[in-house]
Amino acid sequence: MNGPHDLGGQMGFGAVAPETNEPYFHAEWEKRALGLTLSGGALGAWNIDESRHTRESIPPAEYLGASYYEIWTRALEVLLQRHGFVTSGEIDAGHKQADGATPKRTLSADMVAGALAKGGPCDRPVATPPRFSAGDKVRTRNFNPTTHTRLPRYARAKSGVVEAVQGSFVFPDDNAHGRGENPQWVYTVVFDGGEIWGDGADPTLSVSIDAWESYLEPV
């Protein structure tokens, strides 16, 4: 999906300027936004890939005008409505108006530490051996889906070298849309700066991405 989230290589947004000694949260409400999002995910109605795609689907003007946790809360509202837990009227009113969908589970305070420690592992076994090995030359596919993908625009139709086979993991492009986990092998692929950024690129620069197997073709 070529949305406002995919800014790699885009001009006009200024330099990346990391904040020195940046705090985990810049305001108290951000803590609550994180807690609500994690609690919403624990309901068991959607997965992390659907959640990510929902954020990507926020209209560009709204997305680019929102802070990090504003994006999270706006996407959470969409997910809760999509899966029948709340209505738009309830969100506007700020309170329950009718019974919604029954969650598969809920996250109580005493469960939080264990849930965070467990995380959300997405490594899965696959029946076939990896198609590529370290040192293989590959080229990324040139495609522009309207659905979710983890292959960034700047790295499409580019030639690079496989640096490592990372294992097999859930394929987010399918998982985000209810088509199953369909795990694939994932590779670290390295590109030189000129291949990614073209003429004028820093010759000492290289860019690496983690790419699912179906993103790659042999060279």
pLDDT at residue number 9:
83
The pLDDT of 41-60, averaged and rounded, is 96
Give DSSP secondary structure letters for 143-197.
---SS--SS-GGGTT-EEEEEEEEEEE--HHHHTTTS----EEEEEEEEEHHHHH
76-105: average pLDDT: 96
pLDDT value at 55 more than 90: yes
pTM comes to 0.92
Residue 14, pLDDT > 90, answer: no
Give the pLDDT confidence score for residue 75 in this predicted structure: 98
Evaluate if residue 32 carries a pLDDT over 90. Answer: yes
Distance separating the N- and C-terminal Cα atoms of the chain: 25
* Angle in degrees, 0-180, between the axes of helices 68-82 and 48-56, rounded to the nearest 10: 110
pLDDT in tens, 173-219: 999 999 999 999 999 999 999 999 999 899 899 999 999 999 999 99
Average pLDDT over residues 151-173: 98
pLDDT tops 90 at residue 8: no
What is the CB neighbour count within 10 angstroms for residue 158? 18
pLDDT in the model for residue 33:
96
Q: Which pLDDT band holds residue 152 (cuts at 50, 70, 90)?
A: very high
Q: Which residue carries 């068991």 as its tokens?
A: 44
- Poorest-confidence range of 83-92, 104-113, 161-170? 104-113
Can you tell me the mean pLDDT for 11-38? Answer: 93
Share of the chain above pLDDT 90, in %: 89
pLDDT bracket for residue 15 (50, 70, 90): confident
pLDDT of residue 125: 98
More confident residue, 159 or 120: 159
